[in-house]
Chains A and B, each alone.
Chain A
Amino acid sequence: MKLIKNGNFVEQDFVAVGADDALPDGAVIVPLERWETERDSLVTRNTPIGVKLESGQHPERIRDDLDHLSVVALDFPIYRNGRAYSYARLLRDRYGYEGEVRAVGNVLQDQFYFMVRCGFDALEVQDKITPEVFEQSVGAFTYAYQAAADDRPTVMSLRQRLAARAGEARAAQ
Chain B
Amino acid sequence: MYRYDEFDHSLVKERVEQFRGQVARRLAGDITEDEFKPIRLMNGLYLQLHAYMLRVAVPYGTLSSKQLRKLAEIARKYDRGYGHFTTRQNLQYNWPALKDVPAILDELASVEMHCIQTSGNCIRNVTSDQYAGAAKDEVEDPRIISEVIRQWSTFHPEFSFLPRKFKIAVSATEEDRAAIKVHDIGIQVVRNDKGEIGYQIYVGGGLGRTPMIGKKIGDFVPKADLLAYLEAVMRVYNMNGRRDNLYKSRIKILVHEIGAEEMQRQVEKEFAEIRKTGALNLPQDELDRIEAYFADPAFEALSDDANDLDAAIAADQGFAHWVTNNTAAHKKPGYAIVNISLKPIGGTPGDCSADQMDVVAGLAEKYSFDELRVTHEQNLTLAHVRKGNLKAVYDALKAADLATANVNLITDQIACPGLDYCNLANARSIPIAQEISNRFADMERQHDIGELKINTSGCINACGHHHVGHIGILGVDKKGVEYYQVTLGGSADENTAIGDILGPAFTEQDLPNAIEKIVKIYLDTRQDGERFIDTYRRVGIQPFKENVYEAH
A80 in contact (CB, < 8 A):
yes
Q: Given A93-B277, A158-B7, A159-B286, are A81 and B158 neighbors across the interface (CB < 8 Å)?
A: no
Indicate if the CB atoms of B161 and A81 lie closer than 8 Å: yes
A82 within 8 Å of B (CB atoms) = yes
**Contact residues in B for A147 (Cβ distance below 8 Å):** 279-280
**Which B355-385 residues have C-beta < 8 A from chain A?**
none
| B238 engages A83 (CB within 8 Å) | yes
Which of B38, B158, B235, B238 meets A110, CB within 8 Å? Answer: B38
Binding site secondary structure of chain B = helix
Which one of A11-19, A20-28, A31-39, A136-144 is at the B interface? A136-144
Q: Which residues from chain B contact A10 at a C-beta distance below 8 Å? A: none
Chain B, range 73-126, C-beta contacts under 8 Å to A: 121
Chain A residues closer than 8 Å to B156, beta-carbon distance: 145-146
Find B14's partner among A110, A118, A140, A163 (CB 8 Å cutoff): A140
**What's the least CB distance linking B111 to chain A, in Å?**
20
B161 and A89 contact, CB distance less than 8 A: no
Taking CB atoms, residues of chain A closer than 8 Å to B285 are 160, 163
Select the residue from B10, B158, B286 with max chain A CB neighbours within 10 A.
B158
Q: Select the stretch in B147-155, B253-261, B430-438 that faces chain A.
A: B147-155
B243 to A114, Cβ gap below 8 A? no
Interface digits, A61-91 against B, CB 8 Å rule (1 contact, 0 not)? 0000000000000000001111101110100
Contacts of A159 in B (CB 8 A): 5, 7, 286, 289
Proximity bits, B243-284, A CB within 8 Å = 1, else 0: 100000000000000000000000000000100010110010
Chain B interface category by residue count? 35 or more
Chain B residues, Cβ within 8 Å of A140: 14-15, 18
Question: In the complex, what residues of A have CB within 8 A of residue B39's CB?
Answer: 110
Contact of A82 among B22, B238, B277, B280 (CB under 8 A): B238
Please state if A144 and B155 are interface contacts (CB–CB under 8 Å): yes
Which residue of the partner chain B has the closest CB to A149? B157
**A146–B152 touching, CB < 8 Å:** yes
* A84–B10 CA distance with the chains assembled, in angstroms: 28
A160 and B283: CB pair below 8 A?
yes
Q: Mark A142-173, 1 if CB is under 8 A from B, else 0.
A: 11111110000001101110010000000000
CA distance A94 to B269 in the complex (A): 13
Give bound CA distance, A115 to B160, whole Å.
Answer: 11
Q: Which of B38, B152, B159 meets A79, CB within 8 Å? A: B38
Cβ-defined contact, B160 with A82, below 8 A:
yes
Most chain B beta-carbon contacts within 10 A, residue among A55, A111, A144, A145? A145
With a cutoff of 8 Å between Cβ atoms, the chain A residues found around residue B159 in the complex are: 82, 85
> Which residues in window 314-347 of B have CB below 8 A to A?
none
Q: Mark B49-65, 1 if CB is under 8 A from A, else 0.
A: 00000000000000000
Shortest CB–CB separation between residue A132 and chain B, in angstroms? Answer: 12
Query: Is A117 close to B, CB under 8 A?
Result: yes
> Is B239 part of the binding interface, using a Cβ–Cβ cutoff of 8 Å?
yes
Taking a contact as CB atoms closer than 8 A, the residue among B155, B161, B243 that contacts A141 in the complex is B155
Choose from B8, B152, B161, B238 the contact partner of A80 (Cβ within 8 Å).
B161
What is the minimal beta-carbon distance from A166 to any residue of chain B, in angstroms?
12
How many whole Å from B250's CB to the nearest CB in chain A?
A: 14
Closest to B234 in A: A86
Which of chain B's residues have a CB closer than 8 A to the CB of A86? 158, 235, 238-239
Q: Does A113 interact with chain B (Cβ within 8 Å)?
A: yes
Please measure, in the bound complex, the distance between the C-alpha atom of A52 and the C-alpha atom of B23, giving whole angstroms: 35
Does the CB pair A155–B157 fall under 8 Å?
A: no
Check A142–B161 contact: CB distance below 8 A. Answer: no
Is B42's beta carbon under 8 Å from chain A? Answer: yes
B7 cross-chain contacts in A, Cβ below 8 A? 143, 155, 158-159
Nearest Cβ on chain A to B160's Cβ, whole angstroms: 6
- Assembled-state Cα–Cα distance A158/B7 (Å): 9
Residue A2 is within 8 A (CB to CB) of chain B in the complex: no
A58 in the interface (beta carbon within 8 A)? yes
Contact B162 A82 (CB under 8 A): yes
Q: In the complex the two chains form, is A85's CB within 8 Å of B18's CB?
A: no
Q: What chain B residues lie within 8 Å of A158 (beta carbons)?
A: 7
Give Cα distance in the complex from A83 to B159, angstroms. 9
- Could you tell me the distance between the alpha carbons of A92 and B158 in the complex, rounded to whole angstroms? 13
Can you show 5 pairs from A to B with CB atoms below 8 A apart?
A: A79-B161, A80-B161, A111-B161, A141-B15, A156-B151
With A80-B161, A141-B11 already in contact, 17 other A-B pairs whose C-beta atoms are closer than 8 Å: A55-B243, A79-B38, A80-B243, A82-B238, A85-B159, A86-B158, A89-B158, A89-B235, A93-B277, A110-B22, A110-B42, A113-B155, A140-B14, A141-B155, A143-B7, A145-B156, A155-B7
Lowest 4 A-B CB distances belong to which pairs?
Answer: A82-B161, A117-B157, A147-B279, A114-B157
